[in-house]
Chain A
Amino acid sequence: NAGVTQTPKFRILKIGQSMTLQCAQDMNHNYMYWYRQDPGMGLKLIYYSVGAGITDKGEVPNGYNVSRSTTEDFPLRLELAAPSQTSVYFCASSYYGHYEQYFGPGTRLTVT
């Protein structure tokens, strides 16, 4: 099993550009999550999904969009990138909401 995979590992965007962060899991987990982590800070939940076709906002959803067309994939879309979106983005998955989460290796995004 590959677990949770994320691409790209690193990306530099100019202000106003858009991009999609990819996330996939091969553990047949129902729940998937997107977090961001700023330097020296804790994880903040951006969006989550409890199953294919179902998504919901987390703590900091503004400036992001998600979709969940399959159980395996949960891409995160950044529209009109801003410097405040410079962060490390982690995707995670779990079988149910109160089960342990498994994280991908992260995407380091810089917006200049």
Chain B
Amino acid sequence: RKEVEQDPGPFNVPEGATVAFNCTYSNSASQSFFWYRQDCRKEPKLLMSVYSSGNEDGRFTAQLNRASQYISLLIRDSKLSDSATYLCVVNFNNAGNMLTFGGGTRLMVKP
């Protein structure tokens, strides 16, 4: 089983739609969770951290379910500019307690 697992997509949605991605992780002791965004041929950039109580940033909402070991990202009112790959990122208690990146979910928002 991969340590951080995501549906690679692509998710094709019309502008204005609501879309949700899930990500599962294998280490129940993980303590840090993030969503990153990566545009085509660009570096990954932090979209938002994911807190235990859930958090919202404008049209984006992130949720953490520790019992089931998954995190989710909800995007409301999708814009063309939301088209990108979304990376789920989790820390693991390996050497250095470092972050592990999922393979990403590709989102394409169509006019």
Contact = CB atoms under 8 A, between A and B. Distances in A.
Nearest to A59: B100
B98 A48 contact: yes
Contact of B43 (A41, A48, A96, A104): A104
Interface residues of A, number: 23
Contacts of A56: 95-96
Q: Is the interface of B mostly helix, strand, loop or mixed?
A: loop
**Contact-size category for B:** 20 to 34
A53 interface: no
Interface stretch (B15-23, B44-52, B55-63): B44-52
Given A56-B96, A97-B98, A103 B32 contact: no
Contacts of A43: 44, 87, 101
Interface in B33-74: 34, 41-46, 49
A85 interface: no
A39 to B, nearest CB: 10
Contact of A97 (B42, B43, B99): B99
B12 interface: no
A90 B43 contact: yes
Q: Which of A90, A100, A104 has the most CB of B within 10 A?
A: A100
A42 B102 contact: yes
Given A48-B96, A50-B96, A100 B102 contact: no
Interface of B: 31-32, 34, 41-46, 49, 87, 91, 95-99, 101-104
4 closest Cβ pairs, A-B complex? A42-B103, A103-B43, A98-B91, A97-B97
